[in-house]
Amino acid sequence: GVRVVTYGSDYSNEWSVVNAVPNLEGGTDFVVVRAGRPLGRVSVPLPGLHNVLNALSVIAAAAMLDAADALGDGRSAVADVDFTSVSLDETRASAAVARAAEALGGFKGVARRFQQVAALPQCVIYDDYAHHPTEVRATIQAARQRHDTARIWVVFQPHTYSRLAQFFDDFVPAFGGAQRVLVTDVFGAREEAVERGGGEGGVWDAEALAEAIEGPAAAYMPTIQDAVERVVWELKASQLIGEQEPPVIISMGAGDITCLGERLVQRIKGEIEFLD
């Protein structure tokens, strides 16, 4: 049978979190709560509420599987378990949290999820797969948690014209937590640009998004290399005006924008010198 288990940051869920605070590793410490009872403290080395909730979902699932005796060699029988009859007592739930805390403490994340490319004197560079407005917000929030006073620069490559057209209005405010945004051409994946309806004219493209973004200063860069050159130029300008803390630069998108970090490292090492 199917059993619905709720989890989230709100206390009304069966599984929730309290006392979530940044830790010294740049991640988050939090207390796992089930049915109003605290079960244990967990530390994840990754920043952002979305990573806390991802960890919480794993803990809840693991606890239910453990209660159903569906771990280890019995894993193949999970599909046959009637979870509506599974009982999870506090002792077993606390033990599951303790085991999960040990495992999550060594988790270093996955590729292209707020993955650090380089930490240079001039900037810190990350790469992230974010290509949906919610993911964009979450990644910027994670960057702000880890680098609380740094300027955050985003280089965003929209992924497919159809997705950009569908979520255009949601993308417009999604970059509000950043201080600078560069938008490269859409990674079209063989799609053609989508024309705007309602008599607006034009198409839903990267240039239109750059013009529409609310909050940070935004600019359209046709190619990834154009974005690299612009970032290098702005880093030089930051040095000239005496900016002390290096900015955090995040490449975002599901296409070939992932190459930006390495290109940027190469250009910085060849082009930017320390100022006396």
Per-residue pLDDT for 129 more than 50?
Answer: yes
Rounded Cα–Cα distance for residues 152 and 143 (Å): 8
- What pLDDT score was predicted for residue 73? 46
- Shortest CA distance to 51 belongs to which of 117, 124, 146, 167? 146
Mean pLDDT of 14-25: 85
3-state secondary structure of 202: coil
Mean pLDDT of 35-42: 88
| DSSP string covering 161-194 | HHHHHHHHHHHHHHTTT-SEEEEEPPB-TTPPPE
Angle at 201 between CA 196 and CA 205, to 5 degrees: 55
Confidence of residue 208 (pLDDT cuts 50, 70, 90): very high
Confidence of residue 207 (pLDDT cuts 50, 70, 90): very high
Mean pLDDT of 242-271: 90
Which two three-digit tokens encode residue 116? 């650090």
Q: What is the pLDDT of residues 87-125, one digit of tens each?
A: 677 787 888 888 888 887 777 666 667 888 999 999 999
What is the rounded average pLDDT for all residues in the chain? 85
Mean pLDDT of 160-189: 94
**Distances in whole angstroms, Cα of residue 89 to Cα of each of 36, 110, 127, 156, 243:** 13, 32, 41, 46, 55
Which two three-digit tokens encode residue 23? 């830790």
Per-residue pLDDT for 70 more than 50?
Answer: no
Task: Please give the distance of CA 246 from its chain centroid, rounded to a whole number.
Answer: 20
Per-residue pLDDT for 276 more than 50?
Answer: no
Per-residue pLDDT for 187 more than 90?
Answer: yes
**Distances in whole angstroms, Cα of residue 92 to Cα of each of 11, 193, 206, 247, 276:** 21, 54, 51, 45, 61
Per-residue pLDDT for 72 more than 60?
Answer: no
Rounded Cα–Cα distance for residues 55 and 58 (Å): 5
Per-residue pLDDT for 75 more than 80?
Answer: no
- What pLDDT score was predicted for residue 199? 55
- What pLDDT score was predicted for residue 154? 97
Contact present, 207 and 247 (Cβ < 8 Å) = no
Q: What is the pLDDT of residues 216-236, one digit of tens each?
A: 999 999 999 999 999 999 999
- What pLDDT score was predicted for residue 114? 81
Per-residue pLDDT for 201 more than 90?
Answer: no
Dmax over CA atoms of the chain, in Å, equals 70
Lowest mean pLDDT among 10-14, 154-158, 178-182, 258-262: 10-14
